[in-house]
Amino acid sequence: MKRIIIRSLLLLVAMSMLVSVLSGCGEKSTDSDPAGDTAEKKIVIGVMVPTSGTEAQYGNDMYRSYQLAVKEINDAGGILGHKLELYQADDGCDPNMASQAASKIISQKVDFVVGGYCSGATIPALQQYYDANLLMLVSAANSTRITEQGLNQTFMINSPGSHAVITLTDLCKSLGVKSVALIHQGDDYTQNLSDLCEAGLPASGIGIATIQMMEKGASDVSAIVTAIRNSGADFVYWCGYHADGSNVIKQLRRGGCEGFIAVGDGSASAELIEACGPDGEGVYVTSPPFVEFAEGGDKFVASYKAMHNNIDPDPYATLCYDTIYVLKKAIEQAESFETAAVRDKVQGIEYQGLSGLIKFTPDREPAVSNFIILQIENGAFKLITL
């Protein structure tokens, strides 16, 4: 009798353990509720941005903007009953680091991916995300080589360099410019922008006086300054990033180049103004949509600063914030988190965000340009209407 009782007890213990193990088997995106009553489902969004290196300022701003959008959505109940969560990996604006960052993000079994600042770092990772069946919304990087990859799960939120050329052409015409000198740095973003200008400006009667390449981090660009001065160009367009842009602008001005100077969206930063000092006065920017000039921008800035220790947002804040809301709208329209279903809804979406109207061409580039023109005046950016 005693043996029967012992065997019965052992059987009950074994059954209890089995039930416990089975009850722990669930979806990977489900976490236990702290109260123990319900389970809260999570949708994880991978974020690939530079948080180290010369462009870390932009990458950190992008991540903070994603955080704000995610917080707002989660506070309002999430998406289809799911809360959002971010997983960030640093690409350092470096192709090798970007490939490693993509591998980290994919290993976390994320549901979607956002990010991309430097085109040269973003492009090498796109095939990895595609092969992992992940939708990638590229918030800032805008080389036309991104969509030339032909990956139907990659969408550009920022306007491509071809839109920048249109904006630049309008600016040049308004100023009566005859010929332009272009400076790039040989990477996927800067050379792509230069190539697009070289192809597009002459069609509007604006000549290309010279094209110069500057090594990243070069301190002495006197040879470039001399070449531009001798070219007869009355307008210089810097296609590079702001970390080197201020050095170029100062040496151009101090080297006797008195014509117009403009910089592309990679240099659209308040840090450019500070670094240039008086030499930056009058410089134009073909810029992404700055939040201070956007409708509803005041509310965004207040929320951003309240969440992030009074830090001011940078130029790509609106685009990154809108990226998360585009994803939200597409998921809600699809009534699904399945990649193909959400991708199809993104392709047909029309979303009016802080950065303007977001809709896509069949090639998954923005159908409506979001570029604006700014000018440095009295140590601040001024919106220019042509």
Q: Along the 386 residues of the chain, how does pLDDT read in single tens digits? A: 444 444 444 444 444 444 443 344 333 333 333 333 334 689 999 999 999 998 999 999 999 999 999 999 999 999 999 999 999 999 999 999 999 999 999 999 999 999 999 999 999 999 999 999 999 999 999 999 999 999 999 999 999 999 999 999 999 999 999 999 999 999 999 999 999 999 999 999 999 999 999 999 999 999 999 999 999 999 999 999 988 999 999 999 999 999 999 999 999 999 999 999 999 999 999 999 999 999 889 999 999 999 999 999 999 999 999 999 999 999 999 999 999 999 999 999 999 999 999 999 999 999 999 999 999 999 999 999 98
Exposed / middle / buried, residue 266 (Cβ in 10 Å: 0-12, 13-18, 19+): buried
Tokens read off for 358: 């977001």
Q: How far apart are CA 383 and CA 242, in angstroms?
A: 19
User: Rounded to whole angstroms, how far apart are CA atoms 122 and 367?
Assistant: 21
Among 235, 122, 335, 121, which residue's Cα sits nearest to residue 113? 122
Sequence-ordered list of residues with C-beta below 8 angstroms from that of 178, at least 6 positions apart, any chain: 206, 207, 234
Secondary structure class of 332 (helix, strand, coil): helix
Whether 161-287 and 39-159+293-358 are alike in CATH topology: the answer is yes
Cβ burial of 386 (10 Å; 0-12, 13-18, 19+) is exposed
> Cα separation of 50 and 38, whole Å?
37
Q: Which CATH number fits domain 161-287: 2.30.30.50, 3.40.50.2300, 3.40.50.300, 3.40.50.200?
A: 3.40.50.2300
* 3-state secondary structure at position 378: coil
Q: Give the CATH fold of the 39-159+293-358 domain.
A: Rossmann fold (3.40.50)
Given a contact cutoff of 8 angstroms between Cβ atoms, the answer to whether 246 and 272 are in contact is: yes
Name the DSSP class of 79: B
DSSP state of 312: P
Looking up tokens 């965004």 gives 300
CA distance 66 to 324: 7
Listed by start position, the domains of the chain span 39-159+293-358, 161-287
